[in-house]
Amino acid sequence: MKKTGGIVATILASLFCGLPGLALACLGLLAAVGTQMPQVMTQAGTDLQNTLIGVVLFIGGGLILILVPIVVGVLTLRNKRSPAVTAPAYIPPAQPVYSAPTPPVQSPTMQPVQAAPQPATPASDSTQDIYARLMALNRPTAPYRIIGGKAEGVDLVAEWKIVDAQWYQIFAKANLSKVFRIFLKLDPQRREVRAMDREYSVQWRAGIPSLSGEASFFRGQSSSVSFGIGTGFTENAAPGVVYKYKFNTNELKQPIQQAIASCGWTYKGVAFGKL
């Protein structure tokens, strides 16, 4: 930066001082040459003397102005020597002074100091652990499933089993007109699972559903309470465990969010952009 400033200063000095000085010097030389002409020599001595004084002033002033950019360039562009760094004098290390350890004073009321409890070990950062935990949510009696999402450009996809022939009748009784799928992408660096909801309209033909994403397409975070009207579904997942479904968004999201939280990860809903 200092060198650039010196170059700029030299250029400015050349424009405002050097060029005018050169012009003055040239005028002085022309005037000096004119005094040697015969017609000038024949004039009175006073006029010739005044002319010579003007020549000296023009040439001298011009030379001074020409020297200004030269001096500015020399002062601003010269390399300044950095001061020599002298090595510090060697100081020998001090010899440690040995002192015998002082035995602790025992008190009849002194209690042993217990170590502070260590925090619980966080869950593994491996994507295989979170992937296995989410895939473990699949069971034959559940009306939803978690599948691989490579074809969709994500890691996992959670969806209702509405296109499964074994579940046609259950979803038909619920009179579903819309369903949604959750697209999941794992981020091990941030230890979070980004999720985006996509809503599809359902068309029933002869009791067989088909999904259409063109007619009614929603992308973001769905907040619908329920996509169905009428009969729901009750699942007996295990002895003493009963789930009742009305096929709303939370019934599919809650198991996923709980599995993610149990691994120490975060469920992050994405409404805009890409996962």
pLDDT digits (tens, 9 = 90+) for 212-268: 764 344 455 554 544 444 557 888 877 778 888 888 888 889 999 999 999 999 999
Whole-angstrom Cα distance, residue 162 to residue 201? 12
| CB-count burial class (<10 Å; 0-12, 13-18, 19+) for 226 | middle
Residue 158 CB coordination number (10 Å)? 23
Size (the chain), residues: 275
Angle at 159 between CA 155 and CA 163, to 5 degrees: 125
Q: What is the pLDDT of residues 20-53, one digit of tens each?
A: 767 777 877 777 776 665 554 445 455 667 777 7
pLDDT exceeding 70 applies to what percent of the chain?
A: 67
pTM of the model: 0.50
Q: What is the pLDDT of residues 147-159, one digit of tens each?
A: 999 999 999 999 9
**Residue-by-residue DSSP string for 213-254:** TTTS-EEE----S-S--S--EEEEEETTEEEEE---HHHHHH
Residues near 149 by beta carbon (within 8 Å), at least 6 away in sequence: 155, 156, 157, 183, 184, 185
Q: What is the DSSP letter of 167?
A: G
Would you call 18 helix, strand, or coil by DSSP?
A: helix
Would you call 267 helix, strand, or coil by DSSP?
A: strand
